Amino acid sequence: MSTTAIVLAADSGLDFVGPKYLASVHGEPMLQHVVNDVTDWPVDHVIVVLGSNAEQIIETIDFGDLTVVIDPEWSEGTASPIRAALDLASRDRSTRRCVITRGDQPSIDAEMIEVLIDAATEQEADAAVLKYRYAIGWPIVLDRSVWEHLIGSEGSVDLLDVVVSRASTVAEVWVDHRPPVTFETSEDLP
Per-residue pLDDT tens digits for 117-130: 999 999 999 999 99
DSSP state of 51: B
pLDDT confidence of residue 61:
98
Say what the pLDDT of residue 168 is: 87
Domain extent, residue 17, equals: 2-188
* Backbone angles phi and psi of 70, in degrees to 5: -100, 120
Pairing of strands 135-143, 127-132: antiparallel
d(CA 92, CA 85): 12
Is a pLDDT exceeding 80 seen at residue 134? Answer: no
Measured distance CA(147)–CA(11) in Å, rounded: 21
Task: Decide if pLDDT at 82 tops 80.
Answer: yes
CATH number at residue 91: 3.90.550.10
61, burial (CB in 10 Å: exposed 0-12, middle 13-18, buried 19+): buried
Q: How confident is the model at residue 63 (pLDDT cuts 50, 70, 90)?
A: very high
Strands 127-132 and 170-175: parallel
Rounded CA-CA distance 109/172 in Å is 17
Q: What is the mean pLDDT of residues 80-109?
A: 95
Does the global pTM surpass 0.85? yes
Whether the per-residue pLDDT at 189 is higher than 80: the answer is yes
pLDDT at 25: 94
Sign, Cα dihedral of 7, 25, 111, 67: positive
- 95: nearest Cα among 79, 117, 62: 117
Q: What is the DSSP letter of 179?
A: P
pLDDT above 70 coverage of the chain, percent:
100
Q: How many structural domains does the chain have?
A: 1
Return the closest-CA partner of residue 139 out of 177, 171, 105, 167.
Answer: 105
